[in-house]
Amino acid sequence: MSFRRVFRVDVLEGARIAVFSLQANRMRTVLTTLGIGIGVATLLAIVGIIQGLNSSFEKQLATLGANTVFISKYPWMIKGNWWIYRNRKNFTLEQVAQLRSQADFITAISPAVMRMSDVAHGALQVSNVRINGVWSDYQAIGNYEVVSGRFLTRADEEVNRAVTVLGADVAASLFPSISPLGQTVRIDGRPFQVVGTLGRKGKVVAENMDLSVFMPFKTFNSHFGKGRPMQIAIAVADAGQMAKVEDQLVGIMRRVRATPPGQADDFNVNRTDSLAATYEQLTGALYAVATGVGLITLLVGGIGIMNIMLVSVRERTREIGVRRALGARQRTIVLQFLMEASSVSAVGGLLGTTVGLGTAKIVSLVTPLAADVRPSTVVGGVAFAALVGLLFGIWPAARAAKLDPVEALRYE
């Protein structure tokens, strides 16, 4: 038999009979479709939300810079006893200077200290603002954009000037109608002259980066004391050599802090890419749970398709007998029932895709979660739904094809 004849007889005729059968049992078809649709919708909605979280987190980390390293007493993800990290020795400016002179890949370096305080101008006040004491290099390290005025300079540091640069939210709250440049703000009751304002950075790990102000490192210590733990912020030339950079930093820091051989490091080198890896591990577990829930739902839908197809085979036994008596081959019967099962499943996949995308969109509109459903996820969801229908339709299709034509014609 030629391919054209096989296609016309088996495929086209099978498809026509499948469509007719599904239309003849609309309610049963709709209910079966819903089973698959719910599974696909659940899977797409959850995966979309998790993908949105991942994209949002990657964008937040990008604001810190891919070539940035922070050396601190504390790791970004604390495990175990917090007091072990708390009791580590603070860094000194001499150690920062040695680090800058010995490391050959550093493009910018700055000590960084921080405290929370209120910032006021006249009757207006902003509470819980991050007050940062840094060097001028910190602008390049943190990728800060100056939108008016200037950032801190080395001269500000050397002469201990009482100047400050305002984050976007602080500037907008204290100076809603006039330029902040040249104005005086009071930080913890002390006057500071505004020399610049920064562009928006957004949030990084739920922390608002725009609710910050910056002042010279020496000025910070003069006004608020020197006892706070210092962090060392570093920008390196090649982000692709981070592992090598970390090894060199660890070696230099152990040497300048006189850490004995065999003793554990009393500092942590925190990298943005390692934080991203940790985050991906956390969301990977959520992915597994979400995928498991979706697959179980699809499994239930597949069992429903198999049950309905078995009922259909029994109801249409005489029809199968007539077709077999008129010369229909077993493969024609198999193809017909497989097309019915996969069609129901594919329609359920499309319905579930629509509902899943809509749910993810609604969640992104009414919550801070930014859903992100990728085309590959949609294609994969529909294809998998069709595959479920195909697999769960094999047994009923084979059972129909193996019916004896004579016995099938006698069936009442």
Which percentage of the chain shows pLDDT scores above 70?
Answer: 92
CA 217 from chain center: how many Å?
Answer: 35
What is the C-alpha to C-alpha distance for residues 315 and 244, in angstroms, rounded to an integer?
71
Integer CA distances (angstroms), 342 to 69, 250, 307, 391, 394, in order: 53, 59, 14, 8, 10
Per-residue pLDDT at 78 = 75
Range picked from 46-60, 124-138, 340-354 for highest mean pLDDT:
124-138
pTM: 0.65
Contacts of 200 (CB under 8 A, 6+ apart): 168, 210
Band the pLDDT of 184: cuts 50, 70, 90: very high
pLDDT of residue 389: 80
215: nearest Cα among 242, 187, 251, 257: 187
User: Which pLDDT belongs to residue 10?
Assistant: 64
Check residue 8 and give its pLDDT: 60
Structure tokens that stand for 363 in this block: 């969640």
Q: Percentage of the chain with pLDDT > 90?
A: 33
Per DSSP bridges, beta strands 268-271 and 203-204 are unpaired
Tokens 């086209």 -> residue = 12
Q: What is the pLDDT of residues 130-163, one digit of tens each?
A: 999 999 999 999 889 999 999 999 999 999 999 9
Tens of pLDDT along 162-178? 999 999 999 999 999 99
Nearest of 154, 140, 147 to residue 217 by alpha carbon: 154
Contacts of 243 (CB under 8 A, 6+ apart): none
215 or 39, which is more confident? 215
pLDDT score for 113:
95
